[in-house]
Amino acid sequence: MSYQFITSAKLPTRYGEFDIHIFENEDGQEHVMLTVGLPVVDPDTATPSERPAPLIRIHSECLTGDAFSSLKCDCGPQLNSAMQAIQEAGCGAILYLRQEGRGIGLTNKIRAYALQDQGHDTLDANLMLGLPADARIYDMCGPMLAHIGVDAVRLITNNPNKIAYLTEHGINVVERVPLLVGVNDMNAEYLATKRDRMGHLLDKDFNTAIHLNK
């Protein structure tokens, strides 16, 4: 599927000013990139950059967490922490991908929530609905990063799938920056499922955070 840049503007936020860029695929689905210190490049004249690899966060849309401050997940705190870290670094980007509920959509996500309320974990809830555990794709990341001339990143993530995808598509992940925020007793099982069943890189710091929130 192809993606094209549509428009950009300044976006002042509580964390500082970002440039906001809109991309669209051939089906009309929109994706967003927030950048700091990363000017747009002309691919026909661009030369390899000597700047350090910027901080990059690939963040999939989560209405309940990002907008409504849900305690069922850590998505809202992850987004906010990434925005703050990138502003402090002075160079970086958030690739905000419109694939709600790990790609299953908002309605199915809430259906999965209902199953979680009955005691099923997040992975089993998706499978019980006949849906994949994780339906997200990252093919829009390449065009977005190319737009700002980035081919090496310091990736803010706990998800090894994101590292693997970028690496397989020619983006050098020079460092993984862990992100452990928003842990509470409402999402502890959700995070444990990420670690134990989906391979997310949550180590002893996760156990410490759980202990501190009990």
- pLDDT (tens digit per residue) in 27-41: 889 999 999 999 887
pLDDT for residue 198: 81
- CA 12, chain centre distance (Å): 20
CB 53 within 8 A of CB 152: yes
Residue 101 among known ligand-binding residues: yes
Of the two residues 103 and 175, the one the predictor is more confident about is: 175
Is 78 marked as binding a ligand?
yes
Taking residues 131-153, what's their average pLDDT? 91
Confidence class of residue 212 from pLDDT cuts 50, 70 and 90? very low
Q: What percent of the chain has pLDDT over 90?
A: 63
Distance, in Å, from the CA atom of 41 to the CA atom of 21, rounded to the nearest integer, reads 13
Q: Flag whether 58 is marked binding.
A: yes
What count of Cα atoms within 13 Å lies in the side-chain half-sphere of residue 59? 27
**For residue 214, pLDDT beyond 90:** no
Residue 144 pLDDT greater than 90, yes or no: yes
Catalytic residue among 19, 66, 111, 136: 136
- pLDDT for position 43: 59
Give catalytic status of residue 136 as yes or no.
yes
Is 73 assigned a ligand-binding role in the annotation? yes
Give whole-number Cα distances, 54 to 149, 152, 167, 204, 211, in Å: 11, 8, 15, 27, 33
Region 90-94: mean pLDDT is: 96
Domains and CATH numbers, the chain: 3-99+136-198 (3.40.50.10990)
Cα–Cα nearest to 194, from 177, 206, 176: 206
| 42 and 51 Cβ atoms separated by less than 8 Å | no
Choosing from 134, 139, 195, 197, the catalytic residue is 134
Flag whether pLDDT at 204 surpasses 60: no
3-state percent helix, strand, coil for the chain, nearest multiple of 5: 35, 25, 40
Per the CB < 8 A criterion, the answer to whether 58 and 162 are in contact is yes
- Is 199 annotated as a binding-site member? no
